[in-house]
Structure 1
Amino acid sequence: MEMSTMPSRLLIIAALVAAASGVCGPAAMAAGPSGYQDSTYVRSAHQGNLAEIAAGSDARTNATTSCVKDVGAKLVTDHQKLDTDLKALAAQSEMTLPTTPTAEQQQKLKAVQDKAGSAGYDQAWLADQEAAHTKTLALIDTQIRAGTDPAVTQSAEKARPVVAMHLDMVRGGTCHPV
């Protein structure tokens, strides 16, 4: 074997081994939400789901109108389904997810709960849900635009119409029936 071809063959072999092992190229991205954007989305969306499930459950108990109670029930059902997808994505990549909503989300719910049983509760709940779902849509749109993991981006694309529908139900601080 000629010495001039030996280094180039070694480089080709090294490149093939690296690609096959997932050290570089698309195989590294297909394993799970390993990119910063993807893992940030999974964690943030999961905490958002936890917050929406808690807020929806609270509305079913403390709202004064049947519309807010019904929208709360819809949020619980839908966000539980959306969270099932995120938990599966996290499990595939052995990502540990937070077990509670963020401190800010918990404080906002507490502020709404302080008005429990009054018309002020319903107004505060609707306003909080409008802000939360607007923020979640921005998170989803960022993932769709900048995500690198196809499975995570597909999950965001699946969640988008559900979150947009929820926003329509609470838009303008007015309850719009399910």
Structure 2
Amino acid sequence: MRFTHTCATAAAAAVLTLTGTATAFGAASPAASSDATFLQTIHQANLAEIAAGKDARTHAKSACVKQVADIIVRDHTALDAKGAALAKTKGIAMAKEPTAAQQQQLRDLKPKDGTTAYDTAWLKDQSAGHQQALALIDKELTSGTDSQIQAAAKAARPIVAGHLKMVEGGVCHGPTASASPSPQR
């Protein structure tokens, strides 16, 4: 089964951890388990999105994909900085890199560098992953217990939804399709 997106692995890890069928991040943190897992999972997804966006800026063929990649890098960098700062205040350990599966997904695009096939695969990955990320955010909003982490999820939701609009269905709709504002600094 082909892995569809960087966020999808993060979401899957969170679901497995939240359901108790796997331990994705090791020891429990001071924050509620599902809240901590959410922050950790979103952090790794952000790292993966930043890496995928930087890769697309270099290897995508279309200007539209490159523009969307720029927005994704900008937004996920800002979101990740806020999430990492929040995690630090809560004593939640954060990974230093995307998961192995997320890294492999990016490597899987390499043979397609500079082609329309790269753009198509990248967009499909982004579309599927942003759908998964929204589901993960929505789960945190409905079942999370830490009000600060829930507030971070609520703030991230329109940004992730805006990214989805730009790549929905694996088609580049460009930055004008985005409803996401820049994350506030």
- Partner Cα distance (1:111, 1:132) in 2: 16
Q: Does the 8 Å CA contact 2:30/2:91 hold for their aligned counterparts? A: no
- Summarize deviations over 1:32-83 as a string: whole Å, max 9, x none: 9610110010000000100100000001000000000000000000001111
Please state how far the C-alpha of 1:136 moved relative to its aligned partner: 0.7
- Partner Cα distance (2:101, 2:168) in 1: 21
Partner of 1:96 in structure 2?
A: 93
Partner of 2:117 in structure 1?
A: 120
Amino acid at match of 1:174: V
Amino acid at match of 2:53: G
Please state how far the C-alpha of 1:154 moved relative to its aligned partner: 0.2
Partner of 2:61 in structure 1?
A: 64
Please state how far the C-alpha of 1:113 moved relative to its aligned partner: 2.3
- Partner Cα distance (2:30, 2:59) in 1: 37
Structure 1 stretches of 4+ with a deviation exceeding 2 A read none
Matched, 1:46 2:40: no
- Partner Cα distance (2:104, 2:138) in 1: 25
Amino acid at match of 2:131: T
Partner of 2:141 in structure 1?
A: 144
Q: What's the TM-score once normalised by structure 1's chain length?
A: 0.80
**Cα RMSD (Å) of the superposition?**
1.2
Amino acid at match of 1:69: K
Aligned length: 147
Identity %: 48
- Partner Cα distance (1:102, 1:110) in 2: 13
Partner of 1:55 in structure 2?
A: 52
Please state how far the C-alpha of 1:93 moved relative to its aligned partner: 1.6
- Which segments of 5 or more consecutive residues in structure 2 lack a partner in the other structure? 1-28, 176-185
Partner of 2:82 in structure 1?
A: 85
- Which segments of 5 or more consecutive residues in structure 1 lack a partner in the other structure? 1-31
Q: Does the 8 Å CA contact 1:33/1:42 hold for their aligned counterparts? A: no
- Partner Cα distance (1:132, 1:103) in 2: 16
Amino acid at match of 2:90: S
Partner of 1:6 in structure 2?
A: none
Out of 73, 78, 101, the residue aligned to residue 70 of structure 2 is 73
Out of 148, 166, 175, the residue aligned to residue 163 of structure 2 is 166
